[in-house]
Amino acid sequence: MKDFLLGLLDWIYKKRCYFCKSSKESVKMCSKCYDELEFLPVGVNRKVFENEIYCAGVYDKNLQKMIRGLKYHGQKDLAYYQAKFMWEYWQKLEFESDFQIVPVPIYESRKRQRKYNHMELVALEFSKLSGYDVNFELIKRIKDTKPQYKLNKAQRMLNLDGAFEVNAGKYIKGKKVLLIDDICTTGSTFEEMIKTLNASGISDITCFATTTPWES
């Protein structure tokens, strides 16, 4: 009876694709719209303090809408598709190391206002796909920074100065740190996090963003 009722509810409230509005597959992102996502060439996108940064896709069309929908419009189901997209790119890198996934943290009051950290949701989905552990406790944001998108490189670094705090006791020994974020523009957020981790003796770090506005 329970399965029947759940099936009935699924039929009544059939999901529509957030992108094309089709209800044919009853999913938040249909296969046609997912297949339109564009990957970047596989390889290092840039480096910060000799730490490699990888970016999976082109910040355009459906990928842009996916990131904004999850981040600003409460579309939590999109975390799975964002993680899936990142995972498909990540597999092509053929890393043999074991990682602990550390999503970029947001300030606590902003998290309460939004009711979630979008990158924590992506990290959980990426963990299911990769088998890597998730580490939400290694680093936290202790400064309520301004939005970065209107700032130049120098302003971004000043804005982020002292923004993070590391709890070295939560580091999972023997596992590299995989910092993940949605958009890597100048690399300032990764740079500040790396600097803060380095100051605590943690240096085995790789950075991974869903997208970047340009190729470097």
Q: What is the per-residue burial (b if ≥16 Cβ within 10 Å, else e) of 135-171?
A: beebbbbeeebeeeeebeeeebbebbeebbebeeeeb
Mean pLDDT of 159-174: 90
**What pLDDT is attached to residue 174?**
93
pLDDT > 70 fraction of the chain, expressed in percent and rounded: 89
Full set of structural domains in the chain with CATH: 1-34 (no CATH), 37-212 (3.40.50)
Where is pLDDT greater, at 55 or 148?
55
Mean pLDDT lowest for which of 5-19, 55-69, 89-103?
5-19
**What pLDDT is attached to residue 44?**
96
Model confidence pLDDT, tens digit, residues 111-129: 998 899 999 999 999 999 9
- Residue 64 — very low, low, confident or very high, per pLDDT cuts 50/70/90? very high
For residues 206 and 179, the answer to whether their CB atoms sit within 8 Å is: yes
